[in-house]
Structure 1
Amino acid sequence: MPKTIYLFLKKDKVFKKWKEQLLSELKDKYLLKFFYSSKSLLESFLFRPPNMVLFYYEKDPLAFEQIISLKKNFNLTGIPVILVVNELDFKFLINKAEVVDDFVIIHEDLKKVILRIEYAFKRIERISDTNPLTGLPGNTSISKCLEKILKEKQKVAIGYVDLDNFKVYNDVYGFLKGDELIKNLARILATTLNEKVGQGYFLGHIGGDDFVFVVPIEKGEEVAKEIIKKFEATLPIFLKEEDLKRGYFITKDRQGHLGQIPLPSVSIALVSIYPNKFKHLGEISQRAAEVKALVKKMPGSNYFIDRRK
Structure 2
Amino acid sequence: MGRYFSLHKINIHYFDTFEELSVICHRHDIDMILLAGATADSFIKEVELVKLAKQNTFLAVIPIVLFHPDPDENILFAAYQAGADEFIHGDWKNKLIEVRINKIIERHNRDMSINPSTHLPGPSLIESELTRQLNLEQEFAVGYADLDNFKAYNDYYGYHYGDNIIRMTAKIIKDIVFDVSRGGFVGHIAGDDFIFIIPRAEIDFICENIIKSFDALIRLKYADEDLDRGYIVTKSRRGDVEEFPILTISIAVLQNEKGSFKHVGEMSKMLADLKKATKLKSGSNYMVERRSKY
Asked if 2 retains the 8 angstrom alpha-carbon contact of 1:88 and 1:105, the reply is no
133-142 or 143-152: bigger deviation: 143-152
Partner of 2:43: 61
Listed as ranges, the matches of 1:26-45 within 5 Å are: 26-27=5-6, 29=8, 31=10, 39=16
Asked if 1 retains the 8 angstrom alpha-carbon contact of 2:152 and 2:235, the reply is no
- In structure 2, what residue type is equivalent to 1:52? M
- In structure 2, what residue type is equivalent to 1:268? I
Asked if 2 retains the 8 angstrom alpha-carbon contact of 1:250 and 1:259, the reply is yes
1:89 equivalent among 53, 73, 77: 73
Question: 1:193, CA displacement in angstroms?
Answer: 1.0
1:151 lines up with 2:135 in the alignment: yes
- Aligned pair count reads 285
Asked if 2 retains the 8 angstrom alpha-carbon contact of 1:268 and 1:304, the reply is yes
Question: 1:216, CA displacement in angstroms?
Answer: 0.9
Partner of 2:114: 130
Asked if 1 retains the 8 angstrom alpha-carbon contact of 2:54 and 2:83, the reply is no
CA gap 1:34/1:287 in 2 versus in 1, 3 angstroms: closer
Asked if 2 retains the 8 angstrom alpha-carbon contact of 1:155 and 1:274, the reply is yes
Partner of 1:168: 152
List per-residue Cα deviations over 1:67-112 (Å, max 9, x = no partner).
7646866944454221123235167536634531101222599233
List per-residue Cα deviations over 1:215-256 (Å, max 9, x = no partner).
011112211101001101111110111111222223344666
1:241 equivalent among 224, 242, 245: 224
List per-residue Cα deviations over 1:25-51 (Å, max 9, x = no partner).
65575558698xx74998688548653
Asked if 2 retains the 8 angstrom alpha-carbon contact of 1:138 and 1:206, the reply is yes
Partner of 1:101: 85
**Separation in structure 2 between the aligned mates of residue 96 and residue 218 of structure 1, nearest angstrom:** 50
CA gap 1:289/1:256 in 2 versus in 1, 3 angstroms: closer
2:166 equivalent among 179, 182, 197: 182
**Separation in structure 1 between the aligned mates of residue 13 and residue 241 of structure 2, nearest angstrom:** 65
Question: 1:279, CA displacement in angstroms?
Answer: 2.0
Question: 1:165, CA displacement in angstroms?
Answer: 0.8
CA gap 1:176/1:71 in 2 versus in 1, 3 angstroms: closer
Percent sequence identity is 32
**Which structure: larger Rg?**
1
Asked if 2 retains the 8 angstrom alpha-carbon contact of 1:295 and 1:304, the reply is yes
List per-residue Cα deviations over 1:256-288 (Å, max 9, x = no partner).
654322110000000111122222222111100
Q: Where does the alignment leave 5 or more consecutive residues of structure 1 unmatched?
A: 1-6, 8-21
CA gap 1:114/1:220 in 2 versus in 1, 3 angstroms: same
1:218 lines up with 2:198 in the alignment: no
**Separation in structure 1 between the aligned mates of residue 282 and residue 101 of structure 2, nearest angstrom:** 52
List per-residue Cα deviations over 1:181-225 (Å, max 9, x = no partner).
11000110111012222x110100001011000001111221110
79-88 or 115-124: bigger deviation: 79-88
1:262 equivalent among 245, 249, 252: 245
CA gap 1:94/1:274 in 2 versus in 1, 3 angstroms: farther
Asked if 1 retains the 8 angstrom alpha-carbon contact of 2:79 and 2:87, the reply is no
2:210 equivalent among 224, 227, 234: 227
**Separation in structure 2 between the aligned mates of residue 201 and residue 213 of structure 1, nearest angstrom:** 7
